[in-house]
A and B are shown apart, each in its own frame.
Chain A
Amino acid sequence: MKTTLFILLLVSSLAISANEQAESQCNADNLANACIPKLASGFNFLKSYKVDGLAKEKVEYSYVFTKGTQYMINVCSNGSSADGIVVTIFDKERNKVATSKINGQFITAIAYPCNATGIYYIQYTFDEPSAHCGGSALGFKR
């Protein structure tokens, strides 16, 4: 009985340790940098974002978008798809203006021609199954 309990404890510890190790392995910096050259042709790089959602349900940044400028936001994961990462843009009043999940389909890039200058919130959420780890890049063209 004692042996069984010891093995169970040992396995649990190993499992927790492995899980912690996996959690600390989100290299969002690298994924964010890898996203920069994936911006569509004609778009100038503005900013890259780390999407490290291992410890939180959502990751959010803000940016001032200006009228007459077209923005592109892309999402990168360890694979070629968006891996369940959804990027949604909200205006200053928290109205949804754009999302990368359309009809249940995960899109890896959003092109947003801004018509109203103001602060916008770029929010990343995770649809299961997802590694909750990725990167993103924001570009613009006029």
Chain B
Amino acid sequence: MTPAKQLLWTPSVAFWWRDVIRFLRQRNRIIGALATPLVFWLLVGTGFGPSFRNPAAVAAAGAAGSYLAYFFPGILVLIMLFTAIFSTISVIEDRREGFLQGALVAPLSPAAIPLGKFLGGTTLAVLQALLFCLLAPLAGLPIGLHQILLLMPALIVTGFAMTGLGFLVAWPMDSTQGFHAIMNIFLMPLWMMSGALFPMPVGTGWLHLVALLNPVSYGVEAIRSSFAPTISESLFSGYVTGVCVTALFAAVLFAVSVRLVAKRSRRG
């Protein structure tokens, strides 16, 4: 007889594995999450390139200094955001198609569903981002062991946070249309105002404040620092701050998700 404890790891690993299998079986999702940002990167990158004249940003972009190079980390974050969104949208489908009700009557810890989803979304987001990193030399960015070692923690915490954003939007929703609306008015601006697309001005203006308060900025910052050919002390402290703040943000999103699920599983 199964003991009456609430299960966490075995079910979470099952959800995690299921998300990866489902994603790999739906090729259009892989293409959607990878091709859209690629096109975006090339079009916006080459279009804006000539008019890109921000000395601070050029320095931040490392030796390459081009807009394509500046924009590259931002695109990695966008890929992760798209992948995370695609993987969390499945929460809505699961509810509609009935898979979720089977999970809700199982003796699960309230953390089991979010943990599985977060791990699944993070895995897919990081894998897609790494795949895109193969194009880094095209932007003139170095991609060696040292960059990969720095990138991995940055990508993992950012992927976890992006999945968290997607999960929190998806969990209360009944329709995928609603999800797209929230994505356009909330998630995309969050990304645009993170320094991913253009350098946020440093100083006292409201944009600076937005960048400071926007948790996505820190993920972009950490990923951008990872690409520096040599890492200076100030760049490294920026990297550590970026990873830590993003990790904290991800942890908060996870905690809120667990609370939401705990409430939801006993609704009246």
* A and B: interacting chains: no
List residues of chain B with CB under 8 Å of any chain A CB: none
